[in-house]
């Protein structure tokens, strides 16, 4: 339990800091059943993010990899502004959009060297098809000097272009999508999923998971770094208020259960003593918030990186 808690909070601490309204919903398809958006530009400005980046760059192999990306592809990882991924729920299918850190003309020239390269026009936009006939084909289009939309399905990339150009409907900021962008001040990362929408594209679920799907409309997450704390809000939009009340009670019990772990593990007790929890409900939407000091997150990340370094050194012999 302790390791899971530490790794979860450490991972969340690596996520980028976003502005008050992090997602440009006009560029996300209305057909999307799940969305994940990160502002990489703000990562460099956040306390946790800058700490992690500095630690990664201390690793010679990582630093070499970053340098190679810049030399070969002209990719400046420090200049990436934001990345969004969204889809309907079909396995291994989705749309990626990104802005910043690359030059479209340079990448177009590199893509053209691919053995299976084919250029296809979609309106005024060129779609670059590469790695066709492989398990990982790509259809990439540049909608600006440093903006792209890509997918492993050509028609998905075409749809992404149509959404960006305003020719296809975009996602509306309401329900769970409104809730995640307002759950925390200056959210670091936001993501949401229409549970039933995703379920329609997958095999019929049995057991407890099926009950969850029946009673849940959507789930979401928001992450923020504010006031010297890493804050994580997990949201659940229930089918009705009666279900929401039950979930709220379970959530309150869960936060109490976390505290019980302190009786078992002294290290966990020390960590929990620096963690804040809060459960709230507004209508059908329940929010579970966890907060941990940024300094604590840094300590955990540094400790885990040190352990991984020692493990790698031992396996290299």
Beta bridge partners of 226: 229
Please report, rounded to a whole number, the percentage of residues in the chain having pLDDT higher than 90. 43
In tens, the pLDDT along 213-266 reads 778 999 999 988 888 888 899 999 998 999 999 889 988 887 776 666 555 566
Mean pLDDT of the chain: 83
In a domain, 159, yes or no: no
In a domain, 156, yes or no: no
Q: What radius of gyration, in Å, describes the C-alpha atoms of the chain? A: 21
In a domain, 110, yes or no: no
The boundaries of the domain holding residue 12 are: 2-23+40-80+173-304
For 108-117, b/e burial (b = at least 16 CB within 10 A) is eeebeeeeee
Helix (H) or strand (E) holding 10: helix 2-13
Query: 272 near 261, Cβ under 8 Å?
Result: yes
What does the alpha-carbon distance between residue 40 and residue 50 come to, in Å, rounded to a whole number? 11
In a domain, 245, yes or no: yes
Q: How many domains does the chain have?
A: 1
- 133-147, 272-286, 296-310: least confident range: 296-310
In a domain, 165, yes or no: no
Residue 19 has pLDDT above 60, yes or no: no
In a domain, 149, yes or no: no
Q: Is 4 exposed, middle or buried (0-12, 13-18, 19+ CB in 10 A)?
A: exposed
- The structure's pTM equals 0.81
In a domain, 273, yes or no: yes
Task: Retrieve residue 263's tokens.
Answer: 């009786």
């Amino acid at each position: 339990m302790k390791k899971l808690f530490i790794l979860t909070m450490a991972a969340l601490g690596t996520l980028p800091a976003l502005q008050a309204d992090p997602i440009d919903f006009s560029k996300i398809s209305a057909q999307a059943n799940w969305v994940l958006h990160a502002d990489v530009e703000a990562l460099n400005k956040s306390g946790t993010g800058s700490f992690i980046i500095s630690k990664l760059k201390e690793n010679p192999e990582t630093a070499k990899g970053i340098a190679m990306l810049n030399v070969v592809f002209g990719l400046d990882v420090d200049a990436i502004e934001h990345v969004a991924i969204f889809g309907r729920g079909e396995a291994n299918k989705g749309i990626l959009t990104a802005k910043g850190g690359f030059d479209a003309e340079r990448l177009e020239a590199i893509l053209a060297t691919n053995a299976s390269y084919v250029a296809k026009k979609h309106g005024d936009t060129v779609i670059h098809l590469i790695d066709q006939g492989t398990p990982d084909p790509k259809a990439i289009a540049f909608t600006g000097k440093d903006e792209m939309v890509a997918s492993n399905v050509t028609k998905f990339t075409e749809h992404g272009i149509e959404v960006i150009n305003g020719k296809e409907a975009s996602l509306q900021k309401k329900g769970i999508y409104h809730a995640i962008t307002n759950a925390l001040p200056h959210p670091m990362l936001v993501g949401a999923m229409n549970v039933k929408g995703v379920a329609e594209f997958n095999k019929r679920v049995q057991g407890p998971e099926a009950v969850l799907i029946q009673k849940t409309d959507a789930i979401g997450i928001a992450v923020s770094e504010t006031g010297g704390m890493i804050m994580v809000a997990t949201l659940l939009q229930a089918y009705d208020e009666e279900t929401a009340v039950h979930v709220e009670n379970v959530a309150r019990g869960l936060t109490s259960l976390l505290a019980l772990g302190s009786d078992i593990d002294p290290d966990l007790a020390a960590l929990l003593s620096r963690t804040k929890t809060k459960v709230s409900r507004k209508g059908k939407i329940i929010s579970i918030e966890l907060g941990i000091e940024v300094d604590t997150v840094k300590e955990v990340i540094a400790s885990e990186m040190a352990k991984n370094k020692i493990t790698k050194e031992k396996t290299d012999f």
